[in-house]
Chains A and B, each alone.
Chain A
């Protein structure tokens, strides 16, 4: 298929602002009379606030107010409160905010606030709370339970509560030693196929424990919000990944009618899952501003960002994998204890689902639970579950493959998910897959066979390792709205509620509308980033979801515009609607193209006709956000708005495969990545440069998870040991290869009008998996059974001070 725009590079309109410094982020906005708020955060990991004495602080010149949990609606565990009072559950948890004429005064005032705390027992290692008699992170327990009846009765807001789960000491000891704990209770389970019968048919069976450690998101822009109220409206400058999907939620949080909330977010300095939806401190920003009746900015520090900027869950698990003699994965049994921190959820089931899609086991069983600890709250982080599973799975599968005498790429080929692949407990279908082709493409670009033949020993102190890994995430949804307006001057205004989180997807998805309308890109105007730009209800920016979902909604809006233009033309020039075509930004009679209108003329006609043509009437199935935007624009041109009801079946997958070559120094335990090759299987390429960014950026995240980033907590005091960027260190220029190679299969998904799916998550999963595989390869197949693998671990292994995998722990050592 030949496209006008799809698959071609373009310059997104926000890039120039990013290189000239004119791009504005939440903290760059000021209002006359603005005050500055700062947070007072908890110094203890568990307890409650007994009393607060802010009298000294409030008496300070320049201090304008204090805001505490009492100023917010009540919330009950396990909800993550914006400000804590009765349940303090981690060090760094916000307790109150102080506003002053300057940040310095606010900070000084915080120092003068006296708080009396009551301490409670705390725990940082999930297994320490799971053991009978072990401390609980909340007074009422250690795990999330779903209370359907309570939710239905409205007695808990979310239908969740904190309950308790315990294992015997023997079960804990067994699990710590890397064995499955017989008879232990779990929080959730699923299975398909006859697991035991399938294991019986396997000729290679291995069992391994594993641990992945949580890590902070560390978005470079520490979260900031600025709010002010005018004439009953709340104007909120924020930093979110998504623009409109969380509108109603944010309105509830700041207590305003959604119609009176103007959310402004032109640029976001990174999110990676931590800013998909509004986060608790935004409630403080909006409500505190209202209480003071002054514009108020709440910016948090880098250290605060560690505490409340969200983090990936850690997990501790056990897996048993069986291969048949033809190399097919016959059965998988997996058990995962997820660390949900002090709130949020762990991702064990998603991790298990990754195994089910990437290796297509004939039978599989998952058992898991989500445990709370007194560590930072966890949330979605780039492929939650899937990517940390990819990290530890890859070397384990390599071990099975080696035992079975299989080449590591061949093992992946044999088990690769093709178009008929099934996924997860329900063994659902997928929309398409060219993953087998992606493996071949990667092997060719990387030169797998040639590299395999290279000597492992490079010099007396340097060894080579090569590895392969795979990433997966579901990559698309449906049911969101598309909206565009053709103005009487002929400009095509493409409205999107997609947030600008740095991937340029907000612009790329609109290329689908331009494609369908057969119009020039230069004649299009992108409307985004500001509530007063009249935006539609768009999907969330997270989970590799935007490209597939929003090319569909862009497309349906364009189809709605074409239908209306043809109807207008047919009414004026005669004939049936189907007798008309579009092209060259005109709608015309196919048999006589002199009979027709330019897009500018048809927009003028739409205004004259009114009704559905210019937004006075609109489809009932549109979301309220979209309806408000249509109403606000009525009479200003030809308005096209439609909900995506295109057919969609099965899971839309995003896949990626990577190959890595490293040179590992046996004297220092450090390694250099000599070659990184990542191939995306995300349908048709929509924006080549954007795709390279996604693949390479995800690659860097993969290197970070494999070798550098982690939480470390002091089990004595519950204090985090590494709140800084230099401690839980994201990779720098010097930790990544000098060149990164990427590509894509570029084959269409039939359920997308332009063939495209997303790739943001798999791009990390494949990289971390391939690097872990390469590290293991360099060390003769040694398994560390954990992420990250740091230089000291490698050195200890080389020095034969082997880690006892029975000591595997998350959060601590």
Chain B
């Protein structure tokens, strides 16, 4: 840590950068006092949803943890926290990744996009979001953010996928409710192939 950065100033910085999760940041920062000797805390600047956010990140911290508990971006869900389900899917430089299995330090030079960053500046929903509403794609909704991010990644590279291509692209996203047919309909609608 920068020796000039006192813990107090450090915490204030985190709070300023993540107001939605202020109280959480405080508690996690306090917890940092107890980390084993030799571990390093870092104040990172990461680009999330087009904004540069300054945040305290421990070396072993996952991106899902940073997003949810330090930046207040709880749209990214943790279904398993171990790379099995896809609920934590976000984009890093347009590539869909499992945020639970990615260290935050790995994305410090990348643009991270979460479900909260999909709306246009005027509040308009992203076409995938609008299509998922139209198709009533989600059931319980816990996997939905991940499904959306994988769909966005697909359509960025393949704007008119076949249904088969779509299911392959989304196959890393589990839906325990079994809403697959409805998510695929959403992808096909978002790509203008279903009216």
Q: How far is the CB of A62 from chain B (nearest CB, A)?
A: 5
The answer on a CB contact under 8 Å between B27 and A221 is no
Cβ-defined partner of A220 (8 Å) among B24, B34, B76, B174: B174
Are B84 and A696 interface neighbours, CB within 8 A? Answer: no
| Cβ A301 vs Cβ B141 within 8 A | no
With A19-B125, A220-B79 given, is the CB distance from A693 to B84 under 8 Å? no
Q: Which residue of B lies closest to A22 (CB)?
A: B75
**Contact of B106 with A by CB under 8 A:** no
CA of A604 to CA of B181, assembled, Å: 47
Residue B110 at the A interface, CB < 8 A?
A: no
Check: B38 CB closer than 8 A to any chain A CB: no
Binds B, one of A262-270, A404-412, A549-557: A262-270
- B174 x A25 contact (CB < 8 A): no
Identify which of A97-105, A145-153, A612-620 touches chain B.
A97-105
> In the complex the two chains form, what is the Cα distance from A12 to B134 in whole Å?
11
Contact with A along B118-162 (1 / 0, CB 8 A): 110000010001001101111111111100100000000000000
CA distance A503 to B177 in the complex (A): 9
Whole-angstrom distance between the Cβ of A32 and the nearest chain B Cβ: 5
A21–B145 touching, CB < 8 Å? yes
CB contact under 8 A between A697 and B163, given known A15-B138, A220-B87, A732-B174: no
Inter-chain contact A101/B139, CB cutoff 8 Å: no
Please pick, from A102, A220, A731, A736, the residue contacting B28 in the complex, using a CB distance under 8 A.
Answer: A102
Closest to B148 in A: A19
CB pair A20–B116 under 8 Å, yes or no, is yes
The answer to whether A62 and B31 touch across the interface, beta carbons within 8 angstroms, is yes
Interface residue stretch chosen among A50-58, A722-730, A803-811 = A722-730
Contact of B30 among A101, A221, A700 (CB under 8 A): A101
Q: Does A739 contact B (CB under 8 A)?
A: yes
C-alpha gap A101/B32 in the complex (Å)? 10
Cα(A100)–Cα(B164), bound, Å = 47
Is A61 in contact with chain B by the CB < 8 A criterion? yes
Contact A302–B81 (Cβ < 8 Å): yes
Residue among A9, A272, A501, A697 with most chain B CB within 10 A: A697
- Residues facing A in B64-117 (CB within 8 A) are 68, 73-82, 84-85, 87, 114-116
Report B-chain residues with C-beta under 8 Å of the C-beta of A781.
none
Whether, in the assembled complex, B176 has its beta carbon less than 8 Å from a beta carbon of chain A, the answer is: yes
Q: A20-B129, A28-B74, A269-B141 are in contact. Are A220 and B179 (CB under 8 A)?
A: no
A267 is contacted by which of B115, B133, B141, B167 (Cβ under 8 Å)?
B141
B136: chain A residues at CB < 8 Å are 9, 11-12, 15, 504, 689-690, 693
* Residue of A34, A100, A268, A730 most packed against chain B (CB within 10 A): A730
- Which of A9, A102, A699, A726 contacts B178, CB < 8 Å? A699
Contact B133 A19 (CB under 8 A): yes
Given A25-B77, A220-B79, A222-B79, are A736 and B140 neighbors across the interface (CB < 8 Å)?
no
Q: Which residues of A contact B24 (CB under 8 A)?
A: 30, 34
Nearest Cβ distance between residue B162 and chain A, in whole angstroms?
Answer: 9
User: Size of chain B's interface in residues, with CB distance under 8 A?
Assistant: 61
Confirm or deny: A23 has a beta carbon within 8 angstroms of a beta carbon on chain B.
yes
Q: Is A292 an interface residue (CB 8 A)?
A: no
| Chain B residues within an 8 Å CB radius of A269 | 77, 79, 140-142
Residue of B nearest to A738 (CB): B163
- Chain A contact residues, majority secondary structure: loop
Name the residue of chain A whose CB is nearest to the CB of B58: A104
From residue 38 to 88 of chain A, which have CB atoms closer than 8 A to chain B? 60-62
Do the beta carbons of B84 and A725 come within 8 Å of each other? yes
Say whether, besides A270-B177, A725-B85, A730-B174, A101 and B77 are in contact (CB < 8 Å).
Answer: no
Q: Is B21 an interface residue (CB 8 A)?
A: yes
List residues of chain B with CB within 8 A of the CB of A701. Answer: 178
Q: Is B140 within 8 A of A270, CB to CB?
A: yes
Most buried by B among A503, A692, A693: A693
- Contacts A19-B125, A220-B85, A738-B167; is A698 near B23 (CB within 8 Å)? no
Bound form: Cα–Cα A37–B182 in Å: 37
- CB of B34 within 8 A of CB of A20, answer no
- Number of A residues, CB within 8 Å of B: 69
Q: Does A402 contact B (CB under 8 A)?
A: no
| A17: chain B residues within 8 A (beta carbon) | 141
The answer to whether residues A503 and B171 also contact, given A21-B76, A61-B34 and a CB cut-off of 8 A, is no
| CB <8 Å contact, B140 and A268 | yes
Establish whether residues A34 and B73, one from each chain, have CB atoms under 8 Å apart when the complex forms.
Answer: no
Bound-state Cα–Cα, A272 to B79, Å: 16
**Cβ contact within 8 Å between B31 and A104:** yes
Q: Across the interface, do B140 and A700 meet the contact criterion of CB distance under 8 Å?
A: no
Instruction: Report which residue of B34, B75, B132, B140 has the largest number of chain A beta carbons within 10 angstroms of its beta carbon.
Output: B140
Residues of A1-22 at the interface with B, using a CB-CB cut-off of 8 Å, are 9, 11-12, 14-22
Tell whether A31 is near chain B: CB-to-CB under 8 Å. yes
Which of the residues A20, A30, A220 comes within 8 Å of B142, measured between beta carbons?
A220
| A141-179, CB < 8 A from B | none
Return the CB mask of A209-237 against B: 1 if under 8 Å, else 0. Answer: 00000000011111000000000000000
Query: At the interface, yes or no: A119 with Cβ under 8 Å from chain B?
Result: no
Q: How far apart are the CA atoms of A30 and B68 in the complex, in Å?
A: 11
When distances are taken between beta carbons in the complex, the residues of chain A under 8 Å from B173 are 733
A20 engages B125 (CB within 8 Å): yes
Contact B119 A20 (CB under 8 A): yes
A742's nearest neighbour on chain B, judged by CB, is B181
Please give the distance in Å from A30's CB to the nearest CB on chain B. Answer: 5
Does A502 lie at the interface of the complex (its beta carbon under 8 Å from any beta carbon of B)?
A: yes
Give the complex CA separation of A731 and B173 in angstroms.
11
* B167 contacts across to A, CB distance below 8 A: 733-734, 738
B133 touches A21 (CB 8 A): no
B180 at the A interface (CB under 8 A): yes
Instruction: Report if A693-B139 is in contact (Cβ < 8 Å); known contacts: A22-B75, A219-B176.
Output: yes
Q: Which residue of B lies closest to A724 (CB)?
A: B84
Contacting pair B125 A220 (CB below 8 A)? no
Point out the residue from A19, A35, A268, A740 that lies within 8 Å of B129, measured CB to CB. Answer: A19
B33 CB-CB contact with A under 8 Å? yes
Asked if B170 is at the interface (CB within 8 A of a chain A CB), the reply is: yes
Asked if A252 is at the interface (CB within 8 A of a chain B CB), the reply is no
Whether A11 contacts B140 by the Cβ 8 Å rule is no
For residue A24, CB closer than 8 A to chain B, the reply is: yes
Most buried by A among B33, B138, B182: B138
Q: Closest A residue to B128 by CB, please name it.
A: A19
Are A696 and B182 in contact, CB atoms less than 8 angstroms apart? Answer: yes
> Which single residue of chain B is at the shortest CB-CB distance from A217?
B176
Bound CA span A393–B84, Å: 33
Interface string of A698-731 (1 = CB under 8 A from B): 1111000000000000000000000011100011
Q: Is the CB of B170 within 8 A of A697?
A: no
Find out whether the CB atom of A740 lies under 8 angstroms from the CB atom of B34.
Answer: no
Q: In the complex the two chains form, is B139's CB within 8 Å of A502's CB?
A: yes
Q: How far is the CA of A218 from the CA of B175 in the complex (A)?
A: 11
In the assembled complex, how far is the CB of residue A292 from the closest CB belonging to chain B, in whole angstroms?
Answer: 14
In the bound assembly, the distance between CA atoms of A578 and B88 in angstroms comes to 58
Knowing A101-B27, A220-B140 are in contact, say whether A20-B180 is a contact too (CB < 8 A).
Answer: no
Chain B CB within 10 Å, residue with most, of A30, A60, A220, A272: A220
Out of A24, A502, A734, A739, name the residue touching B171 (CB < 8 Å): A734
Q: Counting chain A CB atoms within 10 Å of each CB, which of B33, B176, B179 scores highest?
A: B176
Q: How far is the CA of A81 from the CA of B79 in the complex (A)?
A: 25
Given A16-B133, A60-B34, A696-B178, the answer on whether A21 and B73 have CB atoms closer than 8 Å is yes
27 A-B pairs whose Cβ atoms sit less than 8 Å apart in the complex: A18-B138, A19-B144, A19-B148, A20-B118, A21-B115, A21-B116, A22-B116, A33-B23, A34-B23, A219-B176, A220-B79, A220-B143, A221-B140, A221-B142, A222-B79, A222-B80, A268-B140, A269-B79, A270-B176, A302-B79, A502-B141, A696-B178, A701-B178, A725-B85, A730-B174, A736-B178, A738-B184
- A: which residues have CB within 8 A of B? 9, 11-12, 14-25, 27-28, 30-35, 60-62, 100-102, 104-105, 218-222, 267-270, 272, 301-302, 501-504, 689-690, 692-693, 696-701, 724-726, 730-734, 736, 738-740
Apart from A20-B118, A21-B75: 7 A-B pairs, beta carbons within 8 A: A15-B136, A21-B74, A33-B23, A268-B140, A696-B182, A726-B84, A738-B163
